[in-house]
Amino acid sequence: MVDCHWRFTEAGAFALLRDLADVGLFWLECSVSETPENHPALARLRAFAGELGVRLTGAERQPGLWSYAPIIQAKAFDVIMPDIRYLGGYAEFLHVARLTAIGGVEVVPHNPGAPVSAIASAHVCTSIPNFLIIEHMLAENPLYHEMLTGEAFCPEGGIVQLAGAPGLGVSLNERLMEERPWLPGADSRWAIPGCASRPLGTAAIRHRHAPLGGRP
């Protein structure tokens, strides 16, 4: 997997795909800007990537169904990455997922955030037929797993086990919140030296009371 953070032109992205043709790339993410004028370029890139067996992936910052519709109609991506935080919750996420399913597009939640959004993203993925995998942080901050009580987001062997408890199956660790309140700026007590980077991983999801919401 390669995440480009929209740093390429169309020509540059084509060149990158050619250069990586022999490495067995799974996907190319956010290669060029997703503005409407670039939708035709993304469609051309998707077609070329498909010839190489590579998924073209993106659309992780769109705020609602209305912003995904033209991307899907343009056949810009094989995989879209809606973010439950930007979409405002489950209902809009499910609307987007249903629209992408009609267009034959897979869904991978954009999920580089804190454990609450990770658990929420995992739960919603059990309800969509075109779920592929879930992106997640590798918890380089030791507080990541301490922020919640209950079933933590801890993939094992590429699988996320979801709790059978009510709701998300987790609660905020209020004691920790009181001990370490958020403070703005570089002196925040949440900040830990050496934790500037945010490595990501991927996993499938298994719910204890429902079938797997997609392919492993």
Q: For position 195, what pLDDT does the model report?
A: 41
User: Residue ranges per domain, the chain?
Assistant: 1-107, 118-216
54/76 Cα distance (integer angstroms): 13
pLDDT at position 95 is 95
Q: State the pLDDT confidence band at 204, using cuts at 50, 70 and 90.
A: low
pLDDT at 188: 47
pLDDT at 205: 47
Q: Where are the alpha helices (DSSP H) in 52-179?
A: 65-73, 84-87, 90-102, 115-125, 174-179
Q: What is the pLDDT of residues 132-183, one digit of tens each?
A: 999 987 767 778 888 888 877 778 888 888 878 888 888 989 999 898 887 7
* Cα Rg, the chain, nearest whole Å: 18
Q: What are the tens digits of pLDDT across the range 9-62?
A: 999 999 999 999 999 999 999 999 999 999 999 999 999 999 999 999 999 999
Task: Please tell me the CATH code under which domain 1-107 is placed.
Answer: 3.20.20.120
pLDDT per residue over 146-159, tens digit each? 888 887 777 888 88
By C-alpha distance, which of 204, 1, 216 is closest to 122? 204
Give the pTM: 0.82
Look at residue 191 and tell me whether its pLDDT is greater than 60: no
Percent pLDDT > 70 in the chain is 85
pLDDT of 3 above 90:
yes
Q: How far apart are CA 118 and CA 136, in angstroms?
A: 7
